[in-house]
Amino acid sequence: MRLLLAEDERELSKALCAILKHNNYSVDAVYDGQDALDYGMDENYDGIILDLMMPKMNGLDVLEKLRKAGVSTPVLILTAKAETEDKILGLDKGADDYLTKPFSTGELLARIRAMTRRKSEFTPNLLTLGNLSLNRETFELSTDQGSIRLGNKEFQMIEMLMDNPGRLISTEQFMERIWGYETEAEINVVWVYISYIRKKLATLGANVEIKATRGVGYTLEEVKC
């Protein structure tokens, strides 16, 4: 789960970041409205946490522009103002929920879960393709021949592939979605993980394969013997 956190108070941002990461979210933090908009345009987030009062651009304007641009990522509005007026204005503009500061971390997490639940309700806990299945809860990849627990990065990669079987996924998509924009990691890491995953698929005797398309990316395909 990848979240965008737009909050200009550095201390609060840092604290929230830590809490969210601890709860197994990948978090990109931005500190003003312009960045929030730029980053938010990327569809690679499962949710956006948006402070209303930010430099450069107001949170509500960010939200409005995002929606106008056709971005449908769920948005949770964060505001110091308890005024109902602002809340309603936010919901009108396409926010999914709001939270007034100060709030308990528990409520924040609950609301994020609720906000992203709609989407995950439609995504099964067990992904399958051919004789291969991936358990989203235990991070286990298995076939009839056994199962292997995957590391975080491996899991996210195979998850992306199994979510779109037969669909070509670019190396950049992997990088953006798993490592985030600001990463300094080399493109290399994607190749390395593809290699690791292939090895595990072979070990498990899976009848699927990851095909490379030169200069573009990878496709997961069921292989018919």
Partner DNA sequence: AAGCAAATTTAAGCTACATTTAAGGTAACG
Partner DNA sequence: CGTTACCTTAAATGTAGCTTAAATTTGCTT
- Binding stretches for a copy of itself (CB under 8 A): 22-24, 35, 38-39, 41-42, 44, 103-107, 110, 137-139, 149, 151-152, 166-168, 170-172, 176, 181, 187, 213-216, 219
Smaller CB distance to a copy of itself: residue 139 or 196?
A: 139
Which sign, positive or negative, has the C-alpha torsion 35, 41, 44, 47? Answer: positive
Which of DNA, a copy of itself, none binds 185 (CB below 5-8 Å, type-dependent)?
DNA
Look at the block and give the residue holding tokens 């600001």. 182
Which of DNA, a copy of itself, none binds 189 (CB below 5-8 Å, type-dependent)?
DNA
Which of DNA, a copy of itself, none binds 92 (CB below 5-8 Å, type-dependent)?
none
Residues in touch with DNA (CB under 7 A): 21-22, 149, 151-154, 171, 179, 183-189, 191-196, 198-199, 212-217
Smaller CB distance to DNA: residue 110 or 202?
A: 202
Smaller CB distance to DNA: residue 34 or 44?
A: 44
Which of a copy of itself, DNA, none binds 207 (CB below 5-8 Å, type-dependent)?
none
Which of DNA, a copy of itself, none binds 133 (CB below 5-8 Å, type-dependent)?
none
Angle formed at CA 211 by CA 208 and CA 215, multiple of 5 degrees: 160
Cis peptide preceding 74, ω within 30 of 0: no
**Beta bridge partner(s), residue 126:** 135
**Counting runs of H as helices and runs of E as strands, what totals does the chain give?**
8, 12
Strand order in the sheet with 97-100: 26-30, 2-6, 47-51, 75-79, 97-100
Smaller CB distance to DNA: residue 49 or 150?
A: 150
Q: How far apart are CA 3 and CA 61, in angstroms?
A: 19
Coarse DSSP helix, strand, coil percentages of the chain, rounded to the nearest 5 percent: 40, 25, 35
Cβ 186 to DNA shortest distance, Å? 4
Cβ 56 to a copy of itself shortest distance, Å? 10
Q: How far apart are CA 143 and CA 204, in angstroms?
A: 6
